[in-house]
Chain A
Amino acid sequence: MKHDMIGDPLNRVDGRLKVTGGATYSGEYKIPGLTYGVLVPATITSGTLVSMDTKAAERAPGVLAVITPFNAPKVPGFQPGAAKPVKGLKLFNDDQVHFNGQPIALVVAETFERATYAASLVKATYKAAPFETDFHKNFDKGVVPNEGKYKDYVRGEADAYKNAPVIVEQDYMLPSEMHNPMELHVTIAFWDGDDKVTLYTKSQGVIGSQRAIAGAFGLDPANVQINSRFVGGAFGSSLRTWPHEFAAVQAAKLVKRPVKLTLTREQMFTLVGYRPLTIQKIGLGAAADGKLVGITHESHSQTAVYEEFTENAVNVSRFLYASPNANTRYKVVPLNVGVPAPMRGPGEATGSFALESALDELSYKLKLDPIELRLRNYTYTDPERNLPWSSKFLKECYQQGSERIGWDKRPAEPGTLRDGEWMVGYGIGCGAFGAYRSKTSAKIKLLPDGTVNIQSATSDIGPGTATSMTLIAADTLGIPADKITFELGNSSFPVAPTQGGSQTCSSVGSAVHDVCVALKQKLNSLAGLPTDSTAAIDYSSILQKLNLPVLELTQDSQAGDEAKNYSMYSFSAHFAQVYVHPLTGVVKVKKLVAVVDGGKIVNRKTASSQMIGGAVGGLGMVLTEEAVFDDRYGRYVNGNFADYHVPVNADVPDIEAIFIDKPDPIINPVGSKGLGEISLIGVAAAVANAVYNATGKRIRELPITPDKILTTT
């Protein structure tokens, strides 16, 4: 029988639903008796709520409840000494305001319009306190995070770069960037009695959401049903359960009706995380032959006064290149702002921008080709952990990418290549992201008609999880993909990890592989064959012969000691060709080539799209995106899509994704390492380095907007 195989370019199994409007996202379920919740934001940036006047709102048409810190029913998990304390902001639990836009009330009404209007009638009296939102002013207040893994790292001698013959020492700045998934964050919550609640919510992890809601409201997790079948993008903004999700559950309990709470686009700038404003200092020291003597990487990034956010901004400098001396320092600066969250590529993307930019600067000081510099510092083992890589094909990435971009046309001297009135330049930026595998379960059902259904409580925020899982199942079972359905986004399915950290294909893919193998073994034994027989068998006939209505199996799948014995990473090299207009400062990326060593590629079609999409995210990071803050008031001034510029169609050239496509022999049965993050990591540096190559102007503060091109000498 012809079957679909791993590596095939399979169309998305949910494609038809998505192009017909038939895919139902979390806010789109028609629940009888649905009511609408609208949040009221604080208008001060720090201080205390003294009183609130909710009379007008309560008397407005269609209003069912106005929840404030002065009347909110207590949420058990919000209280001191709670069995499972909720971390972070606890809405309506006390009178403290930590940042501008923090919700101080939730209005619930019969319609969206009525709730929105009534929310505008809520009045608050505050006792304002002094606040700090200015990152630069508070830079020196940075603290080493509490968590141990963020303490200073030293290999060999600290700051050894300072004594090297050739030195680069520079600061690199990245502004706050917003995830801005297209779907507004939304939760529908409704209770069944006092101990059961159901949510349709935008979530990257239904099991995580289930545990969070159960913990906060003191419920048995089995009584918390989370549905998140279609997720309209997230990029990290739905990794955790946010305050507004708890608020929707709280409100639904109070009004005894289903409540739908949708954030506005502007509210998403403060309530669902962002990539934090970060200043990094890189010190590189090299011998005249380009061999690195020392790497120092320091990072300061902003966090919230009420919750500490950390990420791996400096880690890449410990292992990406061979250097006898390397040290990192990482600090966070608490401010009166909403808490950040991991955003695609997270800290690794931030860190890679700084390291790869500095390396580019070093290459010009050494008069060495940037790729040659990387090759001279190539490492065949992980210098941080002193372990072998599970697999690493970064050299192959350099080679294939340089051919595809036309690296031989790159001028060694910056600012010397022109095409008409445009200045032309080439750049490279690399990255690495950990390859993980978490414990995952999957359930398989075989029906007498030969169709197979597989369930696992994973998510799909866009990569095409169900499609790639279908391919793995088809390949493992040796049947066509159209005989298989894969279901996800439901907390009653077998446990799977949250879709984050590029681990879904590795973790869930392993469970799907393993459950399919288990099914084959079971069928072999039912057919009287040795369990490991590879002889072709007709699945449906076995069931029919035995008169079985269904054959069902659940399989756990988890890693062994691999991560203890190997360093496992996906690697990427991004190449950019840019055109810069000398009079207007406009940067046009003409061509982008993304080469990745992500292990075995499961679905060539969706994997390419994922790589291209990550590259577009990187283009936003380097050229257009910046959440602009007004420190006088503690508010963003561009909290919308007109003023916060995510890349649009006209900003994006054709992007070529190239896969090394060699299975990692260690990490999992399929050999896939993950693509989601690595697709973005390195893009910003590739473009920034190409801009320098084109113009001789080194812009170290992102985004590289035309004004900076024009004013940098």
Chain B
Amino acid sequence: MSKKTNQEKGEPLLGGSRRDFLKQSSLLSAMALTPGPVIKAAEEQWDEKIADVFEKVQVNLEVNGVMHSVKVEPRVTLLDLLREELNLTGSKKGCDRGQCGACTVHVNGVRINSCLSLAVTNTGKKITTIEGLATNDQLHPMQEAFIKHDGFQCGYCTSGQIMSAVALVKEGRTQSREQISEFMSGNICRCGAYSNIVKAIQEVKNSQL
């Protein structure tokens, strides 16, 4: 039987051998004298340094009018960058595969599911999240309308609903109740606030006529 490659054995391919070597060598040299936690700490430091130099990619993007310059692994989604790195947790994770809309943000003015977008592909782009919708203390009319019409209950899908709703009005897809419902159907609300969401959107749309 032929010798298995690292990949076939389930070993990490990219960087795996380099890291394994470092880990093992640091482990071997340290093992005799050093207690376990210290070895671990040392290894982690190496991990981080290696990751910083070789595996992370520079991303420059504008979020809610603020420029961010961060290094992220290429596999980090825009949603996880927002939530875990930039501490903008208003955008929600409900499925992590573009099926629920809770993570909806605007990228260059267009609504997208941020869980389906890798952070690195957003360099140079302008992102607006729910945190960037109000100006100073003045809520966006859509936010006001959601409160007035009780367009939410638990509130978890609400950021995505509002970001979608704002985009919907801009897209001009508010010609009828049916059209609003159809083009808001990418945003699931398990509490069932749909009819109130539609009323909120209709009010904002009508106030703009």
Contact = CB atoms under 8 A, between A and B. Distances in A.
A113 B96 contact: no
Contact of B154 (A123, A232, A647): A232
B88 to A, nearest CB: 7
Interface string A1-26: 00000000001101111111111110
Contacts of B187: 649
Given A231-B154, A605-B150, A56 B181 contact: no
Given A112-B84, A181-B156, A654-B195, A60 B93 contact: no
Contact of B94 (A113, A182, A613): A182
Interface residues of A, number: 71
Interface string B70-94: 0001011000100110011111111
B71 to A, nearest CB: 12
Nearest to A19: B143
A30 B195 CA distance: 34
A406 B48 CA distance: 68
Nearest to B84: A112
Contacts of A647: 192, 194
Q: Which of B146, B188, B191, B192 has the most CB of A within 10 A?
A: B192
A265 interface: yes
Nearest to A680: B192
Given A61-B51, A649-B185, A15 B147 contact: yes
A183 interface: yes
B68 interface: no
A563 to B, nearest CB: 29
A230 B12 contact: no
Nearest to B73: A113
Contacts of B129: 21
Q: Secondary structure at chain B's binding surface: helix, strand, loop or mixed?
A: loop
Interface string A284-323: 0000000000000000000000000000000000000000
Contacts of A38: none
B154 A180 contact: no
Given A182-B102, A183-B92, A654-B195, A112 B153 contact: no
B193 A265 contact: no
A19 B147 contact: yes
Interface string B15-50: 110011001000000000000000010001001101
Contacts of A652: 181, 192, 194-195
Contact of A112 (B9, B47, B80): B80
Nearest to A231: B154
A461 B83 CA distance: 22
B3 to A, nearest CB: 17
A235 interface: yes
Interface stretch (A150-158, A212-220, A538-546, A614-622): A614-622
A64 interface: yes
B174 interface: no
A649 B155 CA distance: 16
B159 interface: yes
Nearest to B102: A182
Contact of A59 (B20, B80, B148): B20
Interface string A165-199: 00000000000000011111000000000000000
5 contacts: A113-B76, A182-B157, A462-B155, A609-B153, A650-B181
Report the 8 A-B pairs with minimum CB-CB distance, sorted nearest first.
A21-B90, A616-B192, A232-B156, A18-B155, A613-B192, A462-B153, A462-B154, A21-B130
Interface of B: 9-12, 15-16, 19-20, 23, 40, 44, 47-48, 50-51, 73, 75-76, 80, 83-84, 87-97, 99-100, 102, 129-131, 133-134, 139, 143, 146-148, 150, 152-159, 162, 178, 180-182, 184-198
Given A182-B94, A235-B190, 12 more contacts: A17-B155, A22-B90, A28-B83, A61-B19, A111-B73, A123-B10, A183-B92, A609-B153, A641-B97, A646-B188, A650-B178, A650-B184
